[in-house]
Homo-oligomer: A and B are copies of this chain.
Amino acid sequence: MKKRLLIVGGVAAGASCAARARRLSEETEIIIFERGNYVSFANCGLPYYVGHKIKIREKLLVATPDYFKRRFQIEVRLEHEVTAIDRGKKTITVMDLKSGQEYTEQYDFLMLAPGARAVKPPVKGADIQGIFTVKTIPDADDILDWISRHKVHDALIIGGGFIGCEMAENLHELGIKVRIVEMLPQLMPQVDAEMAWFIHSHVKQSGITLSLHTKVMEFERDSESTICVTLSSGEVVKTGIVISATGVRPDTALAKEAGLAMSPSGGITVDNYMQTSDPAVWAAGDAVESIHVLSGKPVLLPLAGPANRQGRLAADVMMGTNPEPFRGVQGTFVCGIAGLTVASTGLGERNCKDSGIQYEKIYLSPYHHAGYYPGAAPVTMKLVFSKPDGKILGAQSVGMEGVDKRIDVISMAIQNNGTVYDLEQAELCYAPQYGSAKDPVNMAGMIAVNILRGFHPVAHWDDIKQNRAFILDVRTKREYQNGHYPDAVNIPLDTLRNELDKIPGDREILVYCLSGQRSYYAVRILLEYGFNAKNIPGGYMFYRDYDEYDE
């Protein structure tokens, strides 16, 4: 009567499923088939292993086959690739990659956790030596080996997403000159363009070269240790190593061939119990399509957190424990590059536009802890919320400290359908070295609530181009002299009440300062005196970069 659970893929979703299934059932026979050489390894750690931050290779092995055997009575078959599923007979065909022999195994439950495959740019020369992806431990080994054998001084990274950025940081810290080539006009396309400008300026300052809006056209071997890379700009770059980090694609060949339902996004279709179109087959992790909780739209989200929870949930369902369904994904992420932290949760402005969701947005840049305590660093945040109900749609943040904390708090708020009123009233940890009496999360909520309640009319830089408003800069004279919006008139906040006669009463007044706080005060004064004033949240901090981006 022993039932059999066979699992295809033994990293995040597969390993989680296996361990959970064992905890729920001692009876079930559980076998993991992994085509690679390692099971349950720390693939998110690979860039840091390359960068010698993780110094001990064994640390990457979160759990070994021996551990699975010893602790969980789970059999792991490494270098065994599942090549076919016979859903009628409930069997899989397995290829032992070492011996080349094929065999079949019977299942009661089949779990597909094949993950995703790294995509290499489909250009000429993409298969020459010295071009690497970063998906597996052998990949990392190969990169380190290549770097040391060829005494690599220059690296070219294709793709400015998470892996590209993390590899850039790590190679840079090894003393290698790094260039990131990204075909989009920005790094980390998961955040909106104006938030990415902060990443760009930080990355450039750290000494990493950026080639945005640029494609790779061709690779050519120059010498044994040099590769010539032709860019769409016409530039030809010589480099010692190429890291291809242009994204991943769900590894669905097996599922497709077995006739399981596939989603338009390219992932395996599953319900919110991770069940595929075949009731004896489950799937989880990078290979499945998920539903975004805020847009209701299908997305591919190759991240470890959801993968682990999905794998675990699938085991619950198989073992009949009747768990809560998977709620969908929010797209929460964090990525570090050269000391900067970038994090986000929920929908960005671009996503809202794409999904036709009505939204308002604000920007703020408060310190991560009390300004009077040494080391205070700005947390630059963008909050997107719906009007008029104030439901939180998403938040993005960049900064050196305290960024992940604020995004995690807002992610939790989103999880429970939170509004900006919840952020306003949040009671968060405060002591001067940890936060502020009004935490950045409170500040974001307060600003948004002021907008919803009508005290804080706002406009955005994009709006200005379309109207003939009076642009008022309420920063100090010195700040103004160092750079300002072309047509802006400067009246510092503290003298505004005495110079109201300089403000036209028959036009819209758009007010800005450096970040949006002083200009908010100014708007309040102007509104009280009967002017038609609006604030530009984010202020000059965002104008300057906006302009730069436009070029």
Please list the residues of chain A having a beta carbon within 8 angstroms of any beta carbon in chain B. 12, 22-27, 42, 44-45, 48, 53-55, 59-60, 62, 70-71, 73, 162, 166, 303-309, 312, 321, 323-324, 326-327, 329-336, 341, 343, 345, 370, 372-374, 404-405, 407-413, 415-418, 421-422, 424-435, 437-439, 441-442, 446, 449, 453, 455, 493-494, 497, 520-521, 524-525, 528-529
Contact = CB atoms under 8 A, between A and B. Distances in A.
A438 B305 contact: yes
A84 B308 CA distance: 64
B332 A54 contact: no
Contacts of A437: 12, 44, 304-305, 307-308
Nearest to A494: B70
Contacts of A434: 334, 336, 341, 404
Closest 10 CB pairs of A and B: A334-B429, A26-B528, A304-B437, A416-B416, A59-B372, A404-B429, A405-B405, A412-B412, A23-B524, A332-B427
A476 B405 CA distance: 36
16 contacts: A26-B497, A26-B529, A53-B373, A70-B494, A303-B430, A305-B439, A321-B455, A327-B425, A332-B428, A332-B429, A333-B429, A336-B433, A336-B434, A408-B408, A413-B415, A416-B422
A429 B415 contact: no
Contacts of A421: 324
Contact of A431 (B55, B334, B370, B524): B334
As for how many copies of this chain the complex holds, the number is: 2
A336 B431 CA distance: 8
Given A334-B435, A408-B439, 13 more contacts: A26-B528, A27-B528, A42-B372, A45-B373, A71-B494, A306-B427, A307-B437, A309-B424, A324-B421, A330-B427, A408-B428, A413-B415, A415-B426
A442 B374 CA distance: 32
A449 B331 CA distance: 23
B430 A411 contact: no
Contacts of A427: 305-306, 329-332, 345, 411, 415
Contacts of A424: 309, 324
A295 B429 CA distance: 20
Contacts of A428: 305, 332, 408, 411-412
A306 B430 CA distance: 10
A426 B407 CA distance: 12
Contacts of A446: 312
A412 B410 CA distance: 8
B416 A44 contact: no
Nearest to A450: B23
Nearest to A324: B421
A432 B370 contact: no
A497 B74 CA distance: 13
A48 B373 contact: yes
A54 B169 CA distance: 33
Given A404-B434, A411-B427, A525-B26, A370 B308 contact: no
Contact of A42 (B370, B374, B426): B370
Contact of A44 (B26, B45, B432, B441): B432
A162 B429 CA distance: 13
Contacts of A411: 409, 426-429
Nearest to A425: B327
A372 B54 contact: yes
Contacts of A432: 42, 44-45, 48
A336 B429 CA distance: 11
Most B CB within 10 A of own CB, among A60, A417, A449, A521 = A521
A405 B415 CA distance: 16
A142 to B, nearest CB: 20
Contacts of A494: 70-71
A434 B304 CA distance: 13
A524 B525 CA distance: 65
Contacts of A44: 370, 430-432, 437
A353 B525 CA distance: 51
A453 B416 contact: no
Nearest to A307: B437
Most B CB within 10 A of own CB, among A45, A372, A438, A446 = A372
Contacts of A433: 48, 336
A455 B26 CA distance: 13
A312 B27 CA distance: 61
